[in-house]
Amino acid sequence: MQRLAQQWQRIGRRIGFVPTMGYLHAGHLSLVKRARSAAGKNGVVVLSIYVNPTQFGPKEDFSKYPRDLRRDLKLCRKAGVDVVFTPRDTEMYPGKAKGRYSTYAVEERLSQTMEGAARPTHFRGVTTVVAKLFNLVLPDVAVFGAKDWQQAAIIKRMSADLNFPVKIIVAPTLRERDGLAMSSRNKYLIGDLRRQATVLWACIQLARVTVKRSKTYPAAKLKAAVSRLVECEPDARLDYVEFFEPDTLSPVAQVRRGTHMALAVFAGKTRLIDNGPL
């Protein structure tokens, strides 16, 4: 992968990159489109598929995470991806099984809250694998989804802090018709859980309406209202909801127009996240 990328660099082809964990859906493919237009006429688009073990906690769904490489490759071909990069664990983390792998990239501020608080080693795994993928794919531009807002903020921070010569683009969240954000994990939502999962979108709508009605509103009060809305669903449980400045991720006490909202909800055993501007 690295040699191929170096060859492209030498002949001046811009490289657009979309990192994923596979089990692709229309959200992923919208990032491909964005990468294609950002890379330009003579550009190439690389999509990586790698279920990165270091970003999963010990009790999380790493081994169960949905995988279907044949289907993914078909979708990539149709979407005009030039190269699909599917590294193995032994290539990404050489010597790890023997305890020899010992280097990680760690963002220390933005990764403390929300997903970082709920999943303590998650972002260390994310920043490490993205740094490694950047070194392998040598992208001019990389596209991430707004669906993982905090992740995108952390990747932008890491790229600036570690001087990666890559432009980070954040593309909008694609949703199902009922508002549920597309996600590979939606596959886990069977029976009534699929309906109950729309509560995340309902919470974002509730916050939006609230901000529209009263110019400022106490974050604590809105958190309580969100919590009550989630409790209406028999199998849903709120993990967290946060109101914050979109770029710095700093929590706000008063919610107003432009404040960003993010939440995580368990639908049965499936943990879903969503976010949006108010």
- The mark string for 18-57 relative to ligand AMP (x by CB under 6 A, - otherwise) is --xx-----xx-xx--------------------------
CB of 30 to ligand AMP, least distance (A): 6
Catalytic residues: 28
The interface region with ligand AMP, picked from 37-45, 95-103, 176-184, 187-195 by CB under 6 A, is 176-184
The radius of gyration computed from the CA coordinates of the chain, to the nearest angstrom, equals 19
Determine, following the binding rule CB under 6 A, whether residue 137 of this chain makes contact with ligand AMP.
no
Q: Are 29 and 59 in contact (CB under 8 A)?
A: no
CB of 276 to ligand AMP, least distance (A): 12
Q: Which amino acid, one-letter code, is at 98?
A: K
Q: Which of residues 179-218 bind ligand AMP (CB under 6 A)?
A: 181-184
CA pair distance 165, 271, nearest whole angstrom: 34
Q: Under 8 Å CB-to-CB from 101, ≥6 apart: which residues? A: 93, 94, 95
CA pair distance 238, 248, nearest whole angstrom: 23
CB of 52 to ligand AMP, least distance (A): 8
Determine, following the binding rule CB under 6 A, whether residue 150 of this chain makes contact with ligand AMP.
no
- Residue count, binding to ligand AMP (CB under 6 A): 17
Q: Residue 200: which H helix or E strand, with range?
A: helix 199-213
Order of strands across the sheet that contains 270-277:
236-244, 260-267, 270-277
Tokens matching residue 8: 């492209």
Residue numbers of the site for ligand AMP (CB under 6 A)?
A: 20-21, 27-28, 30-31, 144-145, 147-148, 171, 173-174, 181-184
